[in-house]
Structure 1
Amino acid sequence: MPHCSDLQKICQRIREKSTNYDRYNFTSEFNDFLKAFFDLAQEYDSLEDFYRICVAVPLEMIGLDSALYLLDEETRELYLACDSIQGICPQKTVAPENVTLSIEPYECENSYIVPIYSKMPSGGGGLFEEIEQEERAHRCLSNKAYNRNRILGVFSVFPLDKLSADDRFFLSKYTNRIGYNLHNRLIALQNIDHLKFINTLVMDIEHNVIVPNMYFRHLFNKLRKKIAELEDLRNEIRKTNGPELASYQCESCLSRCDRLGDDLLFYHSEIVKHHSNISLFLESLFRREHFESGHLVLHPKRCFVEKEIILPQLENYASRLRSANITVDRPNNMLDEEFQLIVDIGLLSQVYANLFSNATKYTGEVITRKGGKRKAIAYGREVVDDFPECGEQGVKFNVFSTGPHLDPEEAPRIFQEGVRGKGSKGIYGTGHGLAFIQHVVELHGGIVGYEKTSEGNNFFFILPVSYVK
């Protein structure tokens, strides 16, 4: 019966596989070995459980110990992930010097070590070819083939004296299966991480771009009202009759024109500043590297934090702080003593934007020690010792606001995604801003924190001096 043309290629591969299986002539024990591995690989989802399966199946099925070493893509070093003696390695332990990457299996002291490929090379004298060339199993790969098929690590089986030639051949096939499964799991986890990142980035964009962008609507409404006032003024001037009345009305109209001109210039300035700020945020959130890597990628540059980050953000929120009757206390020494810091200006600007945005919403009035009333925010920075390690230094940046303290039970969780304090009831927010701050600060190697003060609350973050040049 002729095959469907659409299936011809796959059917050909099936026939080739069937021929290969006849040639392999695996024992029933080896066949059960592979069945157990495949069944368990489908049953368990986590990566660590897969590592356990890789070393447990040889132990239980044929009584051989084994160790799984994986390649760290950044350091290019092999590290022990799991073995049949201790299970999962709790810490990242570098492989012994005699366990190295190789494009073909080799003996090392009392172990037989096989490379783990993401996809086994085939053709052109490759390693462990599936079709009619098993005798070339130990031939070195060409550089082209090697580059095309990534090595994920090595699989070590011991003791050597228990391994026959058939055992070694079978273990090479088993290691191939480990590579296929590991590659697919790593790709799946990478895709999951990318989806999580995109979901978080969408929240970042909503919180730091879309919601602040609503301020444009407010400014446009203000401009529309001023333009309507100008039209009314034109109509009033047209109705002017009589020299004395005309002189009085002209002076009044000129005065109103001056006020309207000042207002229009102010709103124009606000739109320009806000547009510049939103453009900075868009650039830092829509970088190609973010989407390619699946996480935020820093573009660090030298900058003076107060002059280039804090003051532009403070100016952007100045009118809203004035509308809320909030005064701003500025440090006396920060400009004189400021040093350059290497940070991502766009992302750190959003950190301060979130802090100042929260200040406009949550700053409360307090009674000072002298009996007066005070509603204010303040910012500053100080050098701290023993951060991130003993004997090192860090820079602590503070944003203080007056008002009631956070609930003691809520304070430790305030930087978690979606968490909002009891005082936020009736105030618009998503609980994402402080979580975003923590994420960006930690990318810079720092930490975030909250502390109550005598008159209110201080939110701070500390960056290591290693970022200071």
Structure 2
Amino acid sequence: MTSAWDDDVAGMGFDPGPAGDPAILDRQVIDAVARRIHQKMDDYEAYNFSTKQSISLNVFFDLAQEFPHVEHLYAVCLLIPKMFFDIECNLYVLDSKSGAIRRCAYSCADADAGELADLPFARKTTIRDDRLFIPIKGNHELISQLPFTPREDVFGMLEIYPVSRLSEHDRLFFERYANRFGYQLHNRILATKNKEHLQFIRSLVKDIGHNVIVPNIYFKLYYKRLRSKIDLLKFFEWKLKQFFEGEAEPAAAAALEEDLPATREKLLRDLGYIHEGLMDQYRQILTHYEQTSLFLETLLRRSHFEEGRYVLEKRACNFKKQVIDLQLERYRPRFEERGIEIDTSLGGVPDQEVEVVVDIGLVSQVYANLFSNAVKYTREVTDPASGQRRRFISFGWERKENFFGPGKDGIKLNVFTSGPAIPPETAAHLFEEGVRGENASGEYGTGHGLYFIREVVRLHGGVEGYEATALGNNFFFVLPMDPLV
């Protein structure tokens, strides 16, 4: 025997439509949903919730949709028992970032692990000291998508007290209430995670564009220079064939033969010049390729996409040899082209080797951004010592004792460029997305480089900064001298 509802479903007349049309609902889907509606109707009839209890659930659902942030959802969960039933409650949830337990009681704070060590995180409701602990569970099918690992699908506890004021029917209501909250919280955490993933991907696209795609235009320049050396070699080959195969004019051949020692020396010099030019182009292309590959491998790690953020792969490195020297050699030809000297007298102690624990790929991109800016924005100043006009950069580092607190030293890394100081009103926002200095006129740029530096430095637990000096501008960042753990 079928109910009126079954007859309605059967009579809906859903057209199967064209094969594969996603807009047409499958009859099996309709039947499955209809069965669940029947089950829920029976469940709520058995619950026999009071009018106030039903209204409180409706208010909960309305406000859960209205307020945008998870903190709002916590507040709604806590306040409805208090305002509708004058019942006290606490909320314990696993933090969506760290997986640590947070306690919410009209204000949320990270709780001491020792204080919460004996919480009854279990799949069943527990009574302890006149307090009801109800497990908060989400959608079992989507548990694996949470950014942390719950304990037996339980990622929170709702504590209701005093239990002595609650009837068995009240306990049932609050169990259902905790269940509804769990599903809402689960969906909110997943929505937040997805939003953060999208924001990260947008930022990652900018990072790839700024640190990989834009610098790759230099490959065109390198290959153009390489081609010029190959053409010169071809011309040299033609000249040799003229001489050795007797294709030169008789008078020219006789002159060459008379002056054979000098000609041999000139040939060797020309060959050496061409060889050195080819090797120089090879080294530049190889260096650029290696750094581009490093940057791509760093930016496109699988772990970044799984976490929706940059995930550091830290290891101890010789900062000078493995980071700074490689980037400096990469940008040295561009400094030379613009007449920019490299003067290490102002940046700290550049020859002292220092070992720092960092993500080499990401920090290398920090220096690439700083040196790239130095190429574009270094300007001439009058050297007070010599009175000469100079355009130069400097770099180095210095240890900062107790910078991050007692016994927590830092390493300050500097890149200085000569030129007019950046105005204070601009300097205060230099590391924000899209901000460019007044001296950026005529230079290509997006304002993303310093923002990228800020994000990478802060991810390492460091701080970034800018200092105006008498001769120019010093950009720096300070990293913790932490051991690799």
Query: Which segment is superposed worse, 237-246 or 110-119?
Result: 237-246
* DSSP-derived class of the 2:428 partner: helix
TM-score scaled by structure 1?
A: 0.87
**For the structure 1 residues 279 and 368, does the alpha-carbon distance in structure 2 shift closer, same or farther, using more than 3 Å as the test?**
same
Partner of 1:30: 53
Q: In structure 2, what is the Cα distance between the partners aligned to 1:48 and 1:148?
A: 22
Question: Which residue type is aligned with residue 179 of structure 2?
Answer: N
Cα deviation code 1:204-260 (max 9, x no counterpart): 111111111111011111122333334444455546212235557966676544433
**For the structure 1 residues 455 and 468, does the alpha-carbon distance in structure 2 shift closer, same or farther, using more than 3 Å as the test?**
farther
Partner of 2:476: 460
Q: In structure 2, what is the Cα distance between the partners aligned to 1:71 and 1:468?
A: 27
Q: Is it true that 1:429 corresponds to 2:429 in the alignment?
A: no
Counterparts of 1:241-280 in structure 2, within 5 Å, are 241-242=249-250, 243-244=253-254, 256-280=270-294
**For the structure 1 residues 359 and 468, does the alpha-carbon distance in structure 2 shift closer, same or farther, using more than 3 Å as the test?**
farther
Partner of 1:53: 76
Name stretches of at least 5 consecutive residues in structure 2 with no aligned partner: 1-6, 11-26, 142-148
Counterparts of 1:302-341 in structure 2, within 5 Å, are 302-330=316-344, 334=349, 337-341=352-356
Q: In structure 2, what is the Cα distance between the partners aligned to 1:443 and 1:392?
A: 17
Q: In structure 1, what is the Cα distance between the partners aligned to 2:361 and 2:150?
A: 37
**Pairwise CA RMSD:** 2.6
Q: Is it true that 1:214 corresponds to 2:228 in the alignment?
A: no
Q: In structure 2, what is the Cα distance between the partners aligned to 1:160 and 1:351?
A: 57
2:348–2:395 CA contact under 8 A, matched in 1: no
| Percent of pairs with identical residues | 39
1:117–1:149 CA contact under 8 A, matched in 2: no
Question: Which residue type is aligned with residue 107 of structure 2?
Answer: I
Query: Which segment is superposed worse, 371-380 or 69-78?
Result: 69-78
* DSSP-derived class of the 1:379 partner: strand
* DSSP-derived class of the 1:429 partner: coil
The Cα of 1:391 is off from its aligned counterpart by: 4.6
Cα deviation code 1:342-401 (max 9, x no counterpart): 111111111111111111111111101131222111111111123111453211111111
Q: In structure 2, what is the Cα distance between the partners aligned to 1:119 and 1:5?
A: 22
Question: Which residue type is aligned with residue 185 of structure 1?
Answer: R
Q: Is it true that 1:88 corresponds to 2:103 in the alignment?
A: no
Counterparts of 1:295-374 in structure 2, within 5 Å, are 295-330=309-344, 334=349, 337-370=352-385, 371-374=387-390
**For the structure 1 residues 418 and 37, does the alpha-carbon distance in structure 2 shift closer, same or farther, using more than 3 Å as the test?**
same
Q: In structure 1, what is the Cα distance between the partners aligned to 2:120 and 2:373?
A: 53
TM-score scaled by structure 2?
A: 0.84
The Cα of 1:468 is off from its aligned counterpart by: 7.5
Query: Which segment is superposed worse, 250-259 or 169-178?
Result: 250-259
Question: Which residue type is aligned with residue 380 of structure 2?
Answer: E
**For the structure 1 residues 75 and 313, does the alpha-carbon distance in structure 2 shift closer, same or farther, using more than 3 Å as the test?**
closer
The Cα of 1:335 is off from its aligned counterpart by: 6.9
Partner of 2:400: 384
**For the structure 1 residues 393 and 325, does the alpha-carbon distance in structure 2 shift closer, same or farther, using more than 3 Å as the test?**
same
Question: Which residue type is aligned with residue 115 of structure 1?
Answer: P
2:348–2:398 CA contact under 8 A, matched in 1: no
1:448–1:461 CA contact under 8 A, matched in 2: yes
Q: In structure 2, what is the Cα distance between the partners aligned to 1:290 and 1:198?
A: 9
Query: Which segment is superposed worse, 175-184 or 246-255?
Result: 246-255
Name stretches of at least 5 consecutive residues in structure 1 with no aligned partner: 122-145
Q: Is it true that 1:66 corresponds to 2:89 in the alignment?
A: yes
The Cα of 1:107 is off from its aligned counterpart by: 2.3
The Cα of 1:178 is off from its aligned counterpart by: 0.3
Q: In structure 2, what is the Cα distance between the partners aligned to 1:76 and 1:406?
A: 43
The Cα of 1:94 is off from its aligned counterpart by: 3.8
